[in-house]
Structure 1
Amino acid sequence: MASERRGNRRRVAHSLEAVVDAAVQLLDESGEAALTFRALAARLGGGVGSVYWYVSNKDELLDRATDHVLEGVLTALDGIGADADPIDNIRTMAETLFAAIAERPWLAAYFMRNTTIQSNALLFYERLGQQVMRLDLSPRRCFHAVSAILGYVIGVAADLGQDPPPEVVEGMVAAGDHLRSIADQWRALDPADYPFMHYIVDEFDGHEDIEQFRAGLELLLAGLRLDADSPASDAR
């Protein structure tokens, strides 16, 4: 019966690739809330039924949109050196994925959510794991290392990729001034109750998000290097 209904639908002149491209555009412009089949059909110039010809539901559409973007991430990593230091390669892969998610925060919620559809996400996971394997860690340590790196990259990228406050978006307040206003709030706290905030507030004031990300990544990679160099690493 379902096949009969699908057979009766009028196919318009677009493809699965066109549907996914248009979905990514809507997500980039206005976020997940704007991605409806009605809005997508209007963007494509067809009826809602024509979208259902290519995808079954919104979850599938989001998974395919995510995988489409990750194809570009893999393409950007095509030239990664097979013989280069694995830690350097891991850094490059992490920074490339971070840039993609920071630009498109909606990616964070769907990365590797459905690897049956997301073949590119699975391939990224595999290639990152292959670099970690070159450090001669045990299977458990490899699994934990890859999980820690991906968790850090995705979490920080999603956090830093959030839209700034409306006054910053609308240009009423400069981004630097907004950051400074938060720093000034911290400076007004009682140093006896908030010694750490006072200790780091000058570093926070005017910091660059990408440098903050890279600093945390280097801490992770330094720990991974130590773990790989430890004679007892295979036993853990």
Structure 2
Amino acid sequence: MPPARRARSTHSLPAILEAAVAILDESGEEALTFRSLAARLGGGVGSVYWYVSGKDELLDRATDLVMGELVVQADRIATGPNPIANLRALGLALFEAMTARRWLAAYLMRSVDMQPNSMRVYEHFGQQVQRLDLTSRQRFHAVSAIVSYVVGVGSEMSQGPTGVPDDERAAMMAEYVAAWRAFDPAEYPFIHEVADEFEHHQDTEQFLAGLDLLLAGVRLQHESAG
């Protein structure tokens, strides 16, 4: 008797990945199972296994799909005349993608093979730095610092109060800052100085302030070379 042949899925890989992203956006990584995905698609679990070997591959491919949307933005940003401004816009676009999708940070750029779009975004950062008068080492350090900052802060802030209703965020921040103000002001003068700033800060504004500090250093290196 010839071996049984696996029935070919009636779904497409793009449809599977779009459904996976929808589940991740709605309910997070824990809700994404092959069973929940098959139920959303209207088929059996085997229809998903036809295209992806397991959940790790599914998550990497879903991440790459989202990063493909960012590549479209990056392609447009890269045409700008000012490379420093372009780096700022690229950093903000990546940050906003991470804070809009709380699950994204955990899987971003973890697989070169499964996430070619992540590498395209990284390349966009590098090509902007190549337009500056820097050495190869300076360019490598600049892109490493910028991308590490964006991904690190984006990952942290995606798990915080970003995106919650304003009244809920205000209550959360007030409670947190109350604990700051309980510290002895003589021993913690800086904590008391910035408590009001922290309570009312906006995450995107704070993120951009840090990114601007990094970019100021890159600009200074470029200008000093000239």
Correspondence 1:106 to 2:103: yes
Aligned mate of 1:49, from 23, 26, 46: 46
Normalised by the size of structure 2, how large is the TM-score? 0.91
Residue 194 of structure 2 aligns to which amino acid in structure 1? Answer: I
Correspondence 1:22 to 2:22: no
Distance 2:148 2:28 in 1: 22
Q: CA deviation at 1:213?
A: 0.7
Q: How many residues align?
A: 223
Q: CA deviation at 1:51?
A: 0.7
Q: Which residue of 1 aligns with 2:7?
A: 10
Correspondence 1:222 to 2:216: yes
Q: CA deviation at 1:154?
A: 1.1
Contact 2:64 2:117 in 1 (8 A): yes
Q: Which residue of 2 aligns with 1:184?
A: 178
**Cα-to-partner distance string for 1:174-222 (whole Å, 9 max, x where unaligned):** 3112212211221121112222211111111211111111111111111
Distance 1:144 1:179 in 2: 35
Contact 2:19 2:37 in 1 (8 A): yes
Distance 1:159 1:207 in 2: 15
Contact 2:132 2:222 in 1 (8 A): yes
Distance 1:163 1:80 in 2: 28
Q: CA deviation at 1:164?
A: 4.0
Q: How does 1:118-197 map to 2 (within 5 A)?
A: 118-162=115-159, 164=161, 174-197=168-191
Distance 2:189 2:90 in 1: 36
SS, match of residue 103 in structure 2 = helix
Unmatched 5+ residue regions in structure 1?
A: none
Aligned mate of 2:64, from 45, 48, 67: 67
Residue 114 of structure 1 aligns to which amino acid in structure 2? Answer: S
Distance 2:78 2:54 in 1: 39
Distance 1:214 1:94 in 2: 9
Distance 1:218 1:14 in 2: 45
Unmatched 5+ residue regions in structure 2?
A: none
Distance 1:163 1:46 in 2: 36
Residue 85 of structure 1 aligns to which amino acid in structure 2? Answer: N
Contact 2:9 2:48 in 1 (8 A): no
